[in-house]
Amino acid sequence: MWISRQVIREYLVQITHPKTFVSPLSIGEIKRQVEAIQSLFHVADESAEVTAQLMSILEAYPTRGKQIHDANIVATMLAMGIDTLLTFNRGDFKRFDDRITIVTP
């Protein structure tokens, strides 16, 4: 299974957000969690090809604001040759279902 660096960043946003946890984790605990995540998954790095795919997606689909985060995940998938997305947020990716397969657990 794959994740992108963006997914790691979004995870960090959630686990460090003061509205998510009253007692935030220490940086040491956060670092250990990120190391564990990286050991469990292949990590897709962003590249010039990801940016090119993102620009192509933005031309083809009406995407604005925070939706660009979702489009960037799809761009990373396409650049890496990954065709299936496992997500709890099917609705966020539905517009891309002609390019990727969406699986909801």
For the stretch 38-49, pLDDT in tens is 999 999 999 999
At 47 the pLDDT is 95
Do 53 and 99 belong together in one domain?
yes
Taking residues 53-58, report their average pLDDT.
Answer: 97
Q: For residue 75, what are the CA distances in angstroms to 12, 21, 31, 36, 37?
A: 21, 31, 27, 25, 21
Do 98 and 60 belong together in one domain?
yes
Do 76 and 59 belong together in one domain?
yes
Do 59 and 99 belong together in one domain?
yes
Number of domains in the chain: 2
Do 62 and 98 belong together in one domain?
yes
pTM, two decimal places = 0.87
Indicate if the pLDDT at residue 22 is higher than 90: no
Which secondary structure element, helix H or strand E, spans residue 25, and what is its range? none
Do 13 and 36 belong together in one domain?
yes
At 18 the pLDDT is 83
- Mean of pLDDT over the chain: 94
Q: Which domain holds residue 34?
A: 2-44
Indicate if the pLDDT at residue 17 is higher than 90: no
